[in-house]
Amino acid sequence: MRWGCRFRSDSSYPPGVPIRESMESPRPLRARPTPGRPTRGGRPARVAGALLLLVGLVGVSLAVAVPRVAAATEGDQIAAVAASQAGVPYCDGGGGINGPSYGGMDESGCGPGTKGFDCMSLVQFAVYQVTGIVLPGDGTLPEGVGTYIAPAATIAQDTADLLPGDATFWGGTIGHYSHSGIYAGNGEVWDAIGVDQPVQLHSLSYLANAYNGDFDGAVRYWTNPTTAGGLVPPVVGMASTPSGNGYWLADASGGVSAHGGAVGYGSMVGHHLNAPIAHIVSTPDGGGYWLVASDGGIFSFGDAPFYGSMGGRHLNAPVVDIAPTPDGKGYWLVASDGGVFSFGDARFHGSAGGIRLKAPVVGISADDATGGYWLVASDGGIFSFGAPFLGSAGGIRLSRPVNGMAALADGLGYWFVASDGGIFTAGGARFHGSTGGIRLNEPVVGMAADPATGGYWLVASDGGIFSFDAPFFGAG
């Protein structure tokens, strides 16, 4: 169900008298999978990021394509996306992260064949296009995502506290509001307020009067500037901190961005690479990280020691991933043919090299409990070496290829992810949501587990982040 916000322009509901929008039936979610069985996830209940960008616009003639604005901050971009929908009709129950749509209710300004937004769907759309965070439409807000900005005593102070792109809420409480919009700056808000009132600007003063001064506050879902210094797509992977208070992203050119409590220890930006970077992994203490290139070259930063590499050696297939040992005193590399290379105290337990594979290997995860490791292939097949086999998607017809995996710290389960963001679980790994079934602009290329919450993040090749029961710290 979605809390709404609508003003009627007929005699029953004169402008300026807000009423609560009628409830719509919740959109179906796929059943939560049973732990221990490989499953495919459906639409996410909560996503953070930017998380990943989706621009599947299906607007009416008044809608325009969302500009990829070169703005000072992500907040400016959120405001620009909302502004790009100016004039789109108000449709009760219509719209969402994919753009405007018919809401199923015939009313003045919106009937069959007309696509539009209501207040919350406009906010969902604008926030998602820039950050990738999917805000629920049921009147709740995702926990641990965004920064809450409390209402001030005066409109002047509210204006001083807010920044363009902040999501504003009115007429109730945060998480149980009657109206929402996107702050545009200069004391104005982009919103879809009600019947016969298309997407437009309203002043904070107007909204304060309309909702009897009941401003619930705002949430800032963006954190990082998007100007020079960011990653250059394609992003190839991510690694989380041991405490779950941040993560790193890496691009193919060796650029690294740090988010949340993750510290940037350096990158390969400006250095010549013989081969593109394939992945990034952090040390167990979070004090450094390794980058691995497709030729097997290793680059160490922070307290990450260098134990050797395959750089300069002939490979039968490119290296696709790296996994550290539990003590951080070694690591394994895996190639797409399933060949495994061990360095430092990483013990070799076997490989799929020399075995004819139905699909290439795309990732590796270490089993900290046994000291072994798992390989995952693009068809969801799992190869276990010194680690228990807990399940796979091998033999199941997949919509999209698998391209990454993450394991529980206790070794009792693992996840693997497909390029459409579908999640498969095995063992004790819990399903927290996925982007399977959602049209993405760019494919998901990897995932990382949040050791603090038990959730996980997905990262897309454009640097967008999807957060499932894990806090969002910004996107590439």
Q: Give per-residue burial for 252-289: e unless 16+ CB within 10 Å, then b.
A: bbbbbbbbbebeebebbeeeebebebbbbbbbbebbbb
214 and 305 housed in the same domain: no
Which one of 220, 251, 270 terminates a domain? 220
The span from the CA of 42 to the CA of 422, in Å, is 7
Which one of 220, 246, 264 terminates a domain? 220
DSSP letters, 93-144, are T--BTTB-B--S--BTTB-TT--BB-HHHHHHHHHHHHHEEE--SSS---TT
Q: Which two tokens stand for residue 81?
A: 């996306």
Distance of CA 380 to the CA centre of its chain: 22
Within 10 angstroms of residue 355's Cβ, the number of other Cβ atoms is 10
Whichever domain contains 371, its CATH number is: 2.130.10.10
159 and 266 housed in the same domain: no
182 and 272 housed in the same domain: no
Q: Is the pLDDT of residue 29 over 80?
A: no
DSSP letters, 180-233, are EEEEEETTEEEE--BTTB-SEEEEHHHHHHHTTT-EEEEEE---SB-STTS--S
CA atoms within 13 A on the CB side of 432: 25
Residue 34 lies in a domain: no
Whichever domain contains 126, its CATH number is: 3.90.1720.10
Q: Which of 14-28, 39-53, 453-467 has the highest mean pLDDT?
A: 453-467
Q: Is the pLDDT of residue 19 over 50?
A: no
The span from the CA of 475 to the CA of 350, in Å, is 36
Nearest residue to 292 (alpha-carbon basis) of 263, 262, 335: 335
**What digits encode the pLDDT tens for the residues 401-410?**
999 999 998 9
Residue 113 lies in a domain: yes
| Host domain of residue 163 | 52-220
Cβ contacts of 36 within 8 Å, gap of 6 or more: 390, 391, 413, 425, 426, 427, 428
249 and 215 housed in the same domain: no
For residue 49, what pLDDT is reported? 31
**What digits encode the pLDDT tens for the residues 30-68?**
222 222 223 323 323 223 332 222 222 222 222 223 332
Q: Is the pLDDT of residue 399 over 60?
A: yes
Residue 373 lies in a domain: yes
Place of tokens 């097997």: 296
Place of tokens 């039936």: 25
Which one of 192, 220, 248 terminates a domain? 220
For residue 223, what pLDDT is reported? 63
Domain count, the chain: 2
Residue 137 lies in a domain: yes
Residue 407 lies in a domain: yes
Of the pLDDT bands very low, low, confident and very high (cuts 50, 70, 90), residue 429 is very high
**Identity (one letter) of the amino acid at 147?**
T
Nearest residue to 99 (alpha-carbon basis) of 110, 80, 85, 119: 85
395 and 263 housed in the same domain: yes
DSSP-derived 3-state class of residue 293: strand
